[in-house]
Structure 1
């Protein structure tokens, strides 16, 4: 279960974009992040400190050893939670709001893809299924999918000279009626 501070930290729209960029590009300098998001260096530094406080990012040495620049990388690569995990009504409310914001973000990305997909060189896919499951089985599925995605992402050879584009994957598993 995620701590509520992690959930609230990554739920901020700019902080989520920072996390996504670090996930795709690896360690980055504050100035590079500021340019990528057309934001002030001070604003990016503030958001990085908020993410650091939650244990999401960590400050690292510059690759060239230059101690005058501030570099950051992800301290972890995945986040999972359910509002049902929280006993505190206030924390459960914040977790539900974060779930809703995350779902809106996911659907916005999907809608954007559908608007541009005829012009894309990379084909997407859709998949779904329906089955009977307990909470433990649903949690086990999430764990297996997370491990599969980590393995898939780690197996991509970014040094092979092939041109790649960012790919976004999301899936949801939840109780339903038929």
Structure 2
């Protein structure tokens, strides 16, 4: 997992098109700009620009061994998971604002994915109807216990991550968040 601690790298993540490109590379694996443009509905030139920004930030890299000729450019994510903590950006107001914006953009991306699922025909068909889940609750936890809960949830996600494609498997989006809150 890539742990982001640099505000410049976080700025690269905090853009809706770049976040979507990262998601596609994470799910589908290495790809070319033309394919990414088709999947995201963006122009190839726009995708190429955003791929360069992600590469300069060290979040993706070229995969020249996949190219069949010198005109093909393939890109991949060396770390399929990225993460950051607000505490790593608290020392500088501008960096903290960048981290807040990245968190807000990430949350919007998560909400958009959930809305797309809820409006899809698949959300009303078995076996996904009885497999998909939504859970939330209020717990009484200390900061240390919340961190422990987050670590355990990440361990569960890691245990299921990296499973190879199979006939009965599809990409599944899982979200987990924990923070102090009141009803």
TM range, smaller chain: 0.7 to 0.9
What is the Cα deviation at residue 23 of structure 1? 0.6
What is the Cα deviation at residue 132 of structure 1? 3.4
Count of aligned positions: 175
- Picking from 118, 121, 124, the partner of 2:124 is 118
SS at match of 1:80: strand
How many angstroms apart in 2 are the aligned matches of 1:157 and 1:52? 26
- Picking from 157, 170, 176, the partner of 2:175 is 170
Residue ranges of structure 2 left out of the alignment (5+ in a row): none
How many angstroms apart in 2 are the aligned matches of 1:79 and 1:175? 23
More relative contact order, 1 or 2 (CA 8 Å, 6+ apart): 2
TM-score after normalising by structure 1 = 0.84
User: Is the deviation greater in 86-95 or in 114-123?
Assistant: 114-123
Written as runs of structure 1 = structure 2, the 5 A alignment for 1:146-161 is 146-154=154-162, 156-158=163-165, 160=166
Q: What's the counterpart of residue 98 of structure 2?
A: 94
Residue ranges of structure 1 left out of the alignment (5+ in a row): none
TM-score after normalising by structure 2 = 0.82
